[in-house]
Amino acid sequence: MDNSIFIKAYNLIKSANNILVATHEHPDGDAVASAAALAEILELAGKKYELYCHDRINYPLNFLPHLDEFKTNYENFNFDLIIVLDCSVVERTKLDKEILGRRPNQLVLEIDHHPKIKSYADLEIRDSAAAATTEILYYFLKANKIRINKNLANCLLAGILTDTGNFLYPSTSPQTINIASEMLAKGARLPQIMENTWRNKSIASMKAWGKALSNLKINKIYNFAYTILEPEDVPLEMAEEELEGLAGFLSNLDRVNGLMILRELPEGIIKGNLRTAKPNVDISKLARALGGGGHAKAAGFTVTGSLQKTENGWTIV
């Protein structure tokens, strides 16, 4: 990617007086780490900013900087620059009305590694070949000659590790490995990141994983695996983020074209996670047909309704 777009983005940041940094609802590790990294960048630049996420941040990355600054609301939308991270669908920020209806003097910068669905930003930095949004932020830092301190190194490595399943997913590239190695050299704490993102499963989440395995079936017509999680299968005390990695784990299933996890959320929404390990299968096509999006090997969608079991299988009502 041409360095000029990163320099242009940093010029937007330097000229802004009041910045909002936002990411998507139900944030994953890359979303949280990207926002924390950008907050660190803005603090180093002496900029006034706020961090926003529709959902409370309880992802187990509490060793990262700035997590206590996240807000789920704001007093007014008078920001002159809105930076949206890791979110190709503006509706997932839950700020779509404000962003799409913004004033002419309010600019939007989008930084993301998901395939493009619909433009909504004044300046878009997108690289769908990148393993994580934090990988793109690495190139932003390099292009603008910003020194990578320990806080930034932790953020960048945490985002890469969580979005590559600890380098197991096909999105991992030689560049990804090189960046991770450099972050370790700059002080990133790999053992702590692993402890907080991989070896952090509670009994409640293990039971939910067990339920997903118990419900796992294969549609032999399409050679496609699927599993269902009803509301009672996911304990109320379990955080959304504790299910991270379930789809990646189940994608290890041999001799199937793909996998779908359907989970009914309490607010009347069904969340679908799609994965494939087949080199000739683009699972994002199915996600887009269902109103979602994502990568060729990892995608997702949400639909309104509830899951109902019938004699012929499951249906959405």
User: Over its length of 317 residues, how does the chain's per-residue pLDDT go in tens digits?
Assistant: 899 999 999 999 999 999 999 999 888 899 999 999 999 999 999 999 999 999 988 766 778 999 999 999 988 999 999 999 999 889 999 999 999 999 999 999 999 999 888 899 999 999 999 999 999 999 999 999 999 999 999 999 999 998 888 888 878 999 999 999 999 999 999 998 888 877 767 787 888 889 999 999 999 999 999 999 988 888 766 666 666 678 878 877 888 999 999 998 877 889 899 998 888 999 999 998 998 888 888 888 889 998 888 887 888 88
Give the pTM: 0.85
Could you tell me which CATH number the domain at 3-197 has?
Answer: 3.90.1640.10
Architecture of domain 203-316: Roll (3.10)
Residues facing 284 on adjacent strands: none
- Provide the pLDDT for residue 206: 86
- Provide the pLDDT for residue 308: 87
C-beta of residue 247 within 8 angstroms of C-beta of residue 34: no
Q: Cα dist. 91→87, 130, 154, 288 in Å?
A: 9, 23, 29, 15
- Provide the pLDDT for residue 295: 82
Alpha helices in 29-89 (DSSP H): 29-44
Tell me how many degrees the CA angle 251-157-146 measures, rounded to the nearest 5: 145
- Number of alpha helices (DSSP H) and beta strands (DSSP E) in the chain: 10, 14
Q: Which amino acid is at 275?
A: R
Domain coordinates of the chain in residue numbers? 3-197, 203-316
SS3 of residue 67 by DSSP: helix
Q: What is the largest CA-CA distance in the chain?
A: 62
**CB-count burial class (<10 Å; 0-12, 13-18, 19+) for 238:** middle
Q: Which string of b and e fits 78-87 if b means at least 16 CB within 10 Å?
A: ebbbbbbbbb
- Provide the pLDDT for residue 248: 76
- Provide the pLDDT for residue 241: 61
- Provide the pLDDT for residue 259: 94
